[in-house]
Structure 1
Amino acid sequence: MLYRKFSLAGRRNGIPLPPGPPPCWFWSNALPAVNIAHALTDLVREYGPVVSFRQGSQVIIVIGSVEAAMDIMEKEGGSLVDRPRSIAAGEMLSRGMRLLMARSGDRFRRLRKVIHTHLQPKAAETYQDMQRENAKNFILDILNDPNNHREHTERYAISVILRVTYGKSAPTANTDPEVIHIHKILEHFQVAMRPGAYLVDRVPFLRYLPGYGKQLTEWHHDELQLYRQQLGRVKSEADQNKGGPSFAKMLLEHVEDHQLSTDEMSYLAGSLFGAGSDTAIQTAVGITAAIMAAACHPLAQAKVHEELDMVIGSDRAPAFKDSSSLPQLHAFLLEALRWRPVVLPWTTLTCASGFPHRATKDIVWQGYSIPEGATVYGCHWAISRDPIVFPDPETFNPQRWLDSEGRLKDNMKFIVYGFGRRVCPGLHLANQSMFINLALLFWSFRIAQRPDAPINTHAFSDDVISHAKPFEIDVIPRIEVANLREMMTDGCMG
């Protein structure tokens, strides 16, 4: 088998590193520079499910199969909770307060505990009514303007995360001043995160040179000022008994419990909205992938329609209480997320594989060493193409997720939201959003590919979170339009 070939990358305590390409000098890029998702997947096929790269003294490990991801990223998650040092994005821009980049330690544990308390499954359930009402607005948007379906998914997703973080709804995803400002800040963060964007990440002493990093300092003050303003607005509303429940309000009500400074609270709430905006956009991308799959695979869509007709009927709209009775819908969603992974890599490793982990001790896997200090990525695209778990992986087949009795298999897992103790804390909220939107969408409409505008299922943008490039669909109501409008506007919770 190809992955048995000997690695030239070296040994650790007599145990070889996983196989991989020859090492390179520290100023060179050991990883593919273009089309990285497919390039890494090709390397996984050549060298095996765990591939090592050497860049000077730096060891980089890429995980490319379900089994290896479970064994290393999940079972050894306690040894991979740390992040590699990031001077530009983590220290100079975020000052160690951005949860996504926080190194393991006391601050990380305090920040993580607070955010998990607010977004754990039971807490996430409290947002279901709000999510469903926003999802009903999404259906009306699709009914009124089906060509801008991607914009409608983004409006939904941003509205939800604004409500969760600050108790505020945005009328549209593109015109709300706070959303515009947050996206500007996210762009700054994404610039700082790009490999090679700042030489200080390779030559640390540069940060102490007068004038170096002025741009990063300005960006830090800009985002901290915005985060302070937002937390201050929530505090002012709470003092006047105004405003609904939100993460920021919870922070202010439990200052003694979580022991965070004002700036840490400001950054944590702002980081939740920032990371939540990424998760929200990922949610929107996931919904768009499901829309694309429905248009391109009408027989699979028809199975979901058949299930909805049997379980729901036409007298009421789907609700969260129906979730356990809709395995075909869940299987369709799982397959859409596997078929076109939300974190879809084209240009940077962070996009390809999520944010990096750092091994805090040696990990031995099947006779290979992942050494302490190594940077470890899980490659979502390669994992989603694992032929052992997903036979014929390029085929869209929701039935692979169901057993012979039509129930969801409990022995299959595809990692969408990250790995181990660094898994996205908003995953429960995101899953709820995708379920209720797709339940309402498929109950309301049949989605068809236009004969005069065939969809290119491989056409995606080069953004940090890659979007399907615009595509047109025909949306055919399955419910009489007047009744559909009434059911989406009457506030009925089903």
Structure 2
Amino acid sequence: MVQMLDLPISDNAQLVLGAAGLLLVGASWIYFPKSEHGLPLPPSPPTWRLLGHFLPLRNSFFTIAGWIDEYGPLITIRSGTEKIIIIGRHKAVVDIMEKQGGSLADRPRMIAAGEILSGGQAIGFMHAGDRFRRMRRALHSHLQPKVAEAYQPLQMSHARNTVLDILDDPYNFQNHATTYAAASIMKITYGKTTPTSASDPEVREVHRLFESFRTALRPGAYLVDSIPWLKYLPWYGLDLKRQFESTRKLYTNQLNRVKQQLQSNVDVGPSFAKYMLENERLHHLTETEMAFLGGALFGAGSDTTAVAICTVLMAAACFPEEQAKVQAELDMVIGRHRAPTFTDQESLPRLQAFISEALRWRPLAANGFPHRTTEDVIWENYCIPAGTTVFGNHWAISRDPEVYPDPDMFKPQRWINDQGRMREDLKFFVYGFGRRICPAQHVANRSVFINSLLILWAFQLTLDPTKPLDDLGFMTGAMPNDRPCAIDFKTRFPEVNLRRMMQNYPVVA
């Protein structure tokens, strides 16, 4: 038998043990941090990966929702040495991101997307501060509910075109939704009266830009987000710098076109660009800021609106019994001898509930967008320190069983009260949270409503059983390149009557 002896520890062994001790201290700092309030961060799922928690590139919201179910409404995950808080329950997100929204109005630093690709001009990536407040105030002034209501005739006119496009080419309904969104938001932003479609060079250029943004935002896509000093090397990120120059030229040209129309006394009707140019002193924006603000409104508004419309149509095809209930309401309120309009909205709670449930069932941006705390935020027994990145996870929030019982079931009735009206005490955060909520939400909601109304009134929607269905495919926040679903559109009354009513529908030039 070999006897175990107490041997002196070698220098190398001491180094190994010392390093292990430092790792243990570091691990305790990472996993059990305390704030100056003496309160811990929210709980963290265990991981032994030095690079932090593993999240799959595709459908990572499933992993996050599982952690929320296991560890609670708030969790802490780690990316390298950075700690990120994810909120996954309704009450917590209201208490933190709505009621304390002023403390979470900032964005974390995003060098590739926010500083190089957009030159620090994109409001979506902009840090909270004076410039952000000025630009956001300009957006809100022009897109508040009363102003948004003035665009309803325009939205009706373009939604009518969507119905006609589906009649002519039902297979490409995604392109028709994109054409609607691009044409309407181009008119709202720049007053453009010439026909606009998804294939227009300007529209394709903006969509290409937003695809570049999505690429730049992927973790690890650009090393500069981990090594900031790379930004100052003249040879680094040339593709991003070229894209910025192309974007700046596109947005500036659009703004200059409106300026020339004003100088020539050409009446092109209201638009956001016209409003900014006429109120330049009121909002104290430079021409570059105005140009990028208009570009942000067009780019973000077109994609989000098109995806929301497609989500509602997919839900109708996936749940024929609920579609039939909506159409029974449409037949009772409107009938089939006149085309519906915005004036019917208050009489259609079941349609409104269906839209709300569709956008809860399949949220537009499942993982949400990053916020950054500018001061310590206390919630119950946890503290989120200043400077922390925070996400409101739309998928997990939409699955909160206390607010949405049977959350995986498609139940539009949950949005309707005992009096048969839309509930005022139930909300889902389709367009974000707090002071970072999408300022164009009122315009977007009207676009989704009028398209859903006209299409469900005009057509019976069914899934094409010969084509694959990916009912998660519209949840990227942007129109996918593939086709998540194929829908058959059958007219609910003679096509000749439908075409006649659409041709007689109000048209705005």
Normalising by structure 1, report the TM-score: 0.91
Q: What SS is found at the alignment partner of 2:124?
A: helix
One-letter identity of the residue aligned with 1:245: P
Task: Note if contact 2:470-2:484 (Cα within 8 Å) is conserved in structure 1.
Answer: no
**Hey, what does 2:378 align to over in structure 1?**
364
Structure 1 residue aligned with 2:277, among 252, 259, 266?
252
Q: How far is the alpha carbon of 1:397 from its aligned partner?
A: 0.9
Q: What is the alpha-carbon distance in structure 2 between the residues aligned to residue 232 and residue 130 of structure 1?
A: 23
Task: Note if contact 1:158-1:170 (Cα within 8 Å) is conserved in structure 2.
Answer: no
Task: Note if contact 1:283-1:434 (Cα within 8 Å) is conserved in structure 2.
Answer: yes
Q: How far is the alpha carbon of 1:400 from its aligned partner?
A: 0.9
Task: Note if contact 2:87-2:390 (Cα within 8 Å) is conserved in structure 1.
Answer: yes
Residues 23 and 202 from structure 1, CA distance in 2 versus in 1: closer, same or farther, beyond 3 angstroms? farther
Q: What SS is found at the alignment partner of 1:430?
A: helix
1:325-364 correspondence to structure 2 within 5 Å: 325-344=347-366, 352-353=367-368, 355-364=369-378
**Hey, what does 1:268 align to over in structure 2?**
293
Residues 210 and 173 from structure 1, CA distance in 2 versus in 1: closer, same or farther, beyond 3 angstroms? same
Task: Note if contact 2:353-2:416 (Cα within 8 Å) is conserved in structure 1.
Answer: yes
Instruction: Figure out how many residues of one structure are paired with residues of the other and give that number.
Output: 474
Pair 1:10 & 2:33 matched: yes
Q: Which range moved further: 167-176 or 303-312?
A: 167-176
Residues 307 and 85 from structure 1, CA distance in 2 versus in 1: closer, same or farther, beyond 3 angstroms? same
Q: What SS is found at the alignment partner of 1:305?
A: helix
Q: What SS is found at the alignment partner of 2:460?
A: strand
Q: How far is the alpha carbon of 1:234 from its aligned partner?
A: 1.1
Cα displacement string for residues 252-311 of structure 1 (whole angstroms, at most 9, x for unaligned residues): 1111111111111111112222222xxx22222222222222122222111111111121
Residues 282 and 462 from structure 1, CA distance in 2 versus in 1: closer, same or farther, beyond 3 angstroms? closer
Cα displacement string for residues 420-469 of structure 1 (whole angstroms, at most 9, x for unaligned residues): 0000011101100011111111111222234x437635352796636483
Residues 435 and 459 from structure 1, CA distance in 2 versus in 1: closer, same or farther, beyond 3 angstroms? closer
1:200-219 correspondence to structure 2 within 5 Å: 200-219=224-243
Task: Note if contact 2:40-2:383 (Cα within 8 Å) is conserved in structure 1.
Answer: yes
Residues 136 and 123 from structure 1, CA distance in 2 versus in 1: closer, same or farther, beyond 3 angstroms? same
**Hey, what does 1:131 align to over in structure 2?**
155
Cα displacement string for residues 119-165 of structure 1 (whole angstroms, at most 9, x for unaligned residues): 11111111100000100111111122222111111111111111111
Q: What is the alpha-carbon distance in structure 2 between the residues aligned to residue 483 and residue 461 of structure 1?
A: 32
1:191-230 correspondence to structure 2 within 5 Å: 191-230=215-254
1:284-323 correspondence to structure 2 within 5 Å: 284-323=306-345
One-letter identity of the residue aligned with 1:286: A
Cα displacement string for residues 101-126 of structure 1 (whole angstroms, at most 9, x for unaligned residues): 11111100100000111111111111
Structure 1 residue aligned with 2:446, among 432, 441, 445?
432
One-letter identity of the residue aligned with 1:485: R
Q: What is the alpha-carbon distance in structure 2 between the residues aligned to residue 209 and residue 216 of structure 1?
A: 13
Instruction: List, as ranges, runs of 4+ consecutive aligned residues in structure 1 with deviation greater than 4 Å.
Output: 23-26, 461-464
Cα displacement string for residues 368-394 of structure 1 (whole angstroms, at most 9, x for unaligned residues): 111111100011111111111111111
**Hey, what does 1:4 align to over in structure 2?**
none
Structure 2 residue aligned with 1:460, among 456, 462, 473?
473
Task: Note if contact 2:371-2:391 (Cα within 8 Å) is conserved in structure 1.
Answer: yes
Q: Which range moved further: 323-332 or 387-396?
A: 387-396
Q: What is the alpha-carbon distance in structure 2 between the residues aligned to residue 237 and residue 332 of structure 1?
A: 42
Pair 1:188 & 2:212 matched: yes
Pair 1:479 & 2:503 matched: no
Q: What is the alpha-carbon distance in structure 1 between the residues aligned to residue 78 and residue 208 of structure 2?
A: 34
Q: What is the alpha-carbon distance in structure 2 between the residues aligned to residue 153 and residue 289 of structure 1?
A: 11
Task: Note if contact 2:317-2:463 (Cα within 8 Å) is conserved in structure 1.
Answer: yes
Q: What is the alpha-carbon distance in structure 2 between the residues aligned to residue 300 and residue 117 of structure 1?
A: 38
Task: Note if contact 2:77-2:84 (Cα within 8 Å) is conserved in structure 1.
Answer: yes
Cα displacement string for residues 457-488 of structure 1 (whole angstroms, at most 9, x for unaligned residues): 53527966364834333322223322211111
Q: What is the alpha-carbon distance in structure 1 between the residues aligned to residue 160 and residue 411 of structure 2?
A: 28
Task: Note if contact 1:24-1:56 (Cα within 8 Å) is conserved in structure 2.
Answer: no
Q: What is the alpha-carbon distance in structure 1 between the residues aligned to residue 462 and residue 235 of structure 2?
A: 56
Q: What SS is found at the alignment partner of 2:236?
A: coil
Residues 367 and 238 from structure 1, CA distance in 2 versus in 1: closer, same or farther, beyond 3 angstroms? same
Task: Note if contact 2:363-2:475 (Cα within 8 Å) is conserved in structure 1.
Answer: no
**Hey, what does 1:33 align to over in structure 2?**
56
Q: Which range moved further: 16-25 or 40-49?
A: 16-25
**Hey, what does 2:305 align to over in structure 1?**
283
Q: What is the alpha-carbon distance in structure 2 between the residues aligned to residue 464 and residue 343 of structure 1?
A: 5
Q: How far is the alpha carbon of 1:73 from its aligned partner?
A: 1.0
One-letter identity of the residue aligned with 1:265: M
Residues 462 and 415 from structure 1, CA distance in 2 versus in 1: closer, same or farther, beyond 3 angstroms? closer
1:411-422 correspondence to structure 2 within 5 Å: 411-422=425-436
Cα displacement string for residues 340-386 of structure 1 (whole angstroms, at most 9, x for unaligned residues): 11124xxxxxxx22x21001111111201111111000111111111
One-letter identity of the residue aligned with 1:415: F
Pair 1:51 & 2:64 matched: no
Q: How far is the alpha carbon of 1:58 from its aligned partner?
A: 2.0
One-letter identity of the residue aligned with 2:187: R
Q: What is the alpha-carbon distance in structure 2 between the residues aligned to residue 471 and residue 270 of structure 1?
A: 30
Q: Which range moved further: 410-419 or 439-448?
A: 439-448
One-letter identity of the residue aligned with 1:11: K
**Hey, what does 1:347 align to over in structure 2?**
none
Structure 2 residue aligned with 1:20, among 44, 59, 67?
44
Task: Note if contact 2:273-2:294 (Cα within 8 Å) is conserved in structure 1.
Answer: yes
Task: Note if contact 2:362-2:475 (Cα within 8 Å) is conserved in structure 1.
Answer: no
Pair 1:110 & 2:124 matched: no
Normalising by structure 2, report the TM-score: 0.88
Task: Note if contact 1:74-1:419 (Cα within 8 Å) is conserved in structure 2.
Answer: yes
Q: What is the alpha-carbon distance in structure 1 between the residues aligned to residue 48 and residue 126 of structure 2?
A: 29
Structure 1 gaps of 5+ residues are 1-6, 345-351
Q: What is the alpha-carbon distance in structure 2 between the residues aligned to residue 461 and residue 321 of structure 1?
A: 29
Cα displacement string for residues 179-207 of structure 1 (whole angstroms, at most 9, x for unaligned residues): 12212222222222222222222222222
